[in-house]
Structure 1
Amino acid sequence: MLFLHNHYRQPGGEDQVFAAEGELLEARGHRVSRYVMHNDRAAKMSRAGLLRTTIWNGAVYRELRALIRRERPQVAHFHNTFPLISPAAYYAARAEGVPVVQTLHNYRLLCTNALFFREGRVCEDCLGRKATWPGVAHACYRESRASSAAVAAMLASHRAAGTWSRAVDMYVALTGFARQKFVQGGLPAEKIATKPNFIEPDPGTGDGRGGYALFVGRLSREKGVETMLAAWERLRTRVPLKIVGDGPLAARVAEVAGRFREVAWLGRQPKDRVLDLMKEARALIFPSVWYEGFPMVIAEAYAVGLPVVASDLGSMSSLIDHGRTGLRFRPGDPEDLAVQIERISKRPEELARMRREARAEFEANYTAERNYEMLLEIYQAAAGQAEART
């Protein structure tokens, strides 16, 4: 297998999944070659040079053809090509007869900033357009019209060339909601499989005896932190809330924690400590107001048997089965969130059942073994697509 990834300047979830899936295959006897680039190089390039590279990196095309001839991988699996690897890499793999798989970690192929989020709200102004010019007008990428125009030019040129429909044999959407959006945006439905990320090693289950609700994430507007804090200000039942994370709204969180004895801000915590907190929690609060990709914290919650109370929006609508693995509430509505928290607090038998169902959801969909099976199925489908076009 050949794994390809363009690392961002700040490490994130995509980098973790790139590493985890490669290790998953190697642990089961597969040989995995890796081709990576880092965005630190982009800072040293001229604006014109970066634009050309983003659309077509000829050097990458040549390097990859040579690499593929040496390694002879069965599949080329891409995680991110933006901006330095470029879609030229798809064509290099195709020229050497290697099936192409692309994981859709974000909405880059449909949206200039890859998030469907602008000015504090969900935005689909560019969805389905041949060119994402609204994203340029609003400077959606790095708050720069010039940088946004470069992204829009790349997307438009490859849409016109048929790259997204013909040069990739299989796409991997992380949730059913994301798959629906990509189909709506023009990608061929028959080429989009749904496969979530996975948790390894299995952290084991908790018992929720701590009795508190838990938030884990960036303290920022898009994560719905204000909605959560407003809900706690409205609760009639005193439910302890522990908040893990840091970010732009840290001062607001600290202010609420100072006024309400049941709210505790713990700041950043290491992974093991977060899992321990999850095991003792009553519910995970996930009030995000944007679509999200695949929040690993939800899969981690399920792994320890922790129900999730989340916004009924985007990927959360796909991941949380209301009344079974958790509860959903109207996005941005603190009153409705407060109602769901009260429900969790007053129905212990229902909560116990949801804990069992959350763990069952993990075992059915988010283990390493299940992910390995799904990954091989996608590779086989990609090989079939590649064979059909030869």
Structure 2
Amino acid sequence: MRILLLNDRIDPTGGSQLLTRGISDGLAARGHETRILASDAGLDPADRPANASLCRGSLEGSKQTLLRTWNPSAAAALRREIASFRPDVVHVRAFLTQLSPSILPELAGVPALYHAVHHAAVCPTAKKLLPDGRICTFPAGSACKAHCLSVPAFAALMTQRALFRRSWHRFDAVLANSRCTADHLVRDGLGRGPGADEVRVVYNAVPATPARPPLSDPPRAVFVGRLSREKGVATLLHAWARVREEVPAAVLDLVGTGPLEAELEALAAATLGADAAVFHGRLPRPEAEAVATPAWVQAVPSTWDEPFGLVAAEAMMRGTAVVVPGHGGLAEVPEAGVSGLLAPAGDPEAWADALLTLLARRSRAEAMGRAARERATSRFTMDRLLDETEEVYNSIRRTEAAHRHA
């Protein structure tokens, strides 16, 4: 089968990009012929996959806003790829931050599926999060201008939304990386469209990694992610003050950078002892994994509706128990009470309780970590993702063939 994968970007820095590369490689290993079409935004030419074609992209504010509204370069590149590669299926992943709805008319007559990996189809910021930190429950429209967007950005992105919805019927199937993502699509009226069944959930995959060694003292928790407001790190630091009261030797490792780095370091200095929390900054993946591996628990205290939460699945694949919020795609990753614990976002006391459940009892952390690895190796592998995706490819190809012969 010839499969063309579309993704806004393909630089090896984000989850969507890395997973697109992984899907392409996995399909090729199964005997399929694959190509990738992405923008050149953020891409070092040395990191370009051999099977990737590129169109124009940008990470510069107003230029990106214009391109994500309508990107003629993306439409022309897709037209060329369809003519030369003649794909049996076009697998569209992220496309609303660079490639734009300009690609959709080019899909006429080609079996195509949309694989939602974030909330961009229902929210111009792709986060469904208000500036004050509340989860947004408003439909896209006037609320976006009132709360989140400048007037020029609002005009451009509402135009994008209209263009996207006008061509929604080009998709023969709709996938989402979690029930959370699927539910947002359905609530926005994108659960069904001409030729599209209800949204099917196909969970993300994470790389298979060796199981971590047995846990050792001191008890450690780790956070890996961006130090920004929606990641909820302030809640974690406030919770850690109580953790240290009950487990004085416990250490919190934080890996990542972001706009709140200085503020969070100051908060830690004011509320915790000198050795209670270690800010490691941004680390290359092998070094980040070396910091995370000894952890008894990985904390993912996000306050927004994370579409999935790769970092939690990666921890579980390692054999580390997780504590995640009780909402969004993250709540779907562990089995609550078995391979991880759920705690309400923004509630330091509840987070302290959950963390202490594991940090005060090594046997509990070990048992939950084993269960986490069992769940990850059965639910979040590339083989499982490819099996389910190939089923959809075959289904839409059969439907297309039936229509041609009707």
TM-score normalised to structure 2 length: 0.84
What is the alpha-carbon root mean square deviation over aligned residues?
2.8
Q: Which runs of 5+ in 1 are unaligned?
A: none
Partner residue in 2 for 1:219: 227
CA contact (8 A) 2:293 2:318 kept: yes
Give the Cα separation in 2 of the matches to 1:326 and 1:289. Answer: 17
SS in 2 for 1:241: strand
Q: CA deviation at 1:227?
A: 0.2
TM-score normalised to structure 1 length: 0.87
Partner residue in 2 for 1:179: 182
SS in 2 for 1:6: coil
Asked whether 1:72 is paired with 2:86, we answer: yes
Partner residue in 2 for 1:138: 147
Asked whether 1:253 is paired with 2:267, we answer: no
Q: CA deviation at 1:312?
A: 1.2
Higher mean alpha-carbon deviation, 81-90 vs 98-107, is at 81-90
Is the alpha carbon distance of 1:172 and 1:268 closer, same or farther for their aligned partners in structure 2, counting shifts above 3 Å?
same
Higher mean alpha-carbon deviation, 148-157 vs 302-311, is at 148-157
Partner residue in 1 for 2:112: 100
Partner residue in 2 for 1:241: 252
CA shift digits 1:53-91 (9 cap, x unpaired): 655555644543343232121110112223553323233
Asked whether 1:334 is paired with 2:341, we answer: no
Alignment of 1:289-328 (within 5 A): 289-328=303-342
CA shift digits 1:74-117 (9 cap, x unpaired): 110112223553323233122xx321122212111111211101
Alignment of 1:109-128 (within 5 A): 109-127=121-139
Q: Which runs of 5+ in 2 are unaligned?
A: 43-55
Q: CA deviation at 1:388?
A: 5.8
Is the alpha carbon distance of 1:311 and 1:125 closer, same or farther for their aligned partners in structure 2, counting shifts above 3 Å?
closer
CA shift digits 1:194-216 (9 cap, x unpaired): 12222224243332324211111
Partner residue in 2 for 1:5: 7
Is the alpha carbon distance of 1:324 and 1:84 closer, same or farther for their aligned partners in structure 2, counting shifts above 3 Å?
closer
CA contact (8 A) 2:224 2:254 kept: yes
Partner residue in 2 for 1:195: 202
User: Partner amino acid for 1:81?
Assistant: F
Q: CA deviation at 1:234?
A: 2.5
Asked whether 1:231 is paired with 2:239, we answer: yes
Is the alpha carbon distance of 1:386 and 1:117 closer, same or farther for their aligned partners in structure 2, counting shifts above 3 Å?
farther
Asked whether 1:357 is paired with 2:365, we answer: no
Give the Cα separation in 2 of the matches to 1:181 and 1:50. Answer: 23
1:30 to 32, 35, 39: 32
CA shift digits 1:164-216 (9 cap, x unpaired): 2x211122211122112211221225342212222224243332324211111
Give the Cα separation in 2 of the matches to 1:287 and 1:42. Answer: 32
CA contact (8 A) 2:58 2:64 kept: no
Higher mean alpha-carbon deviation, 255-264 vs 273-282, is at 255-264
Q: CA deviation at 1:229?
A: 0.7
Asked whether 1:344 is paired with 2:358, we answer: yes
The percentage of aligned residue pairs carrying the same residue is: 27
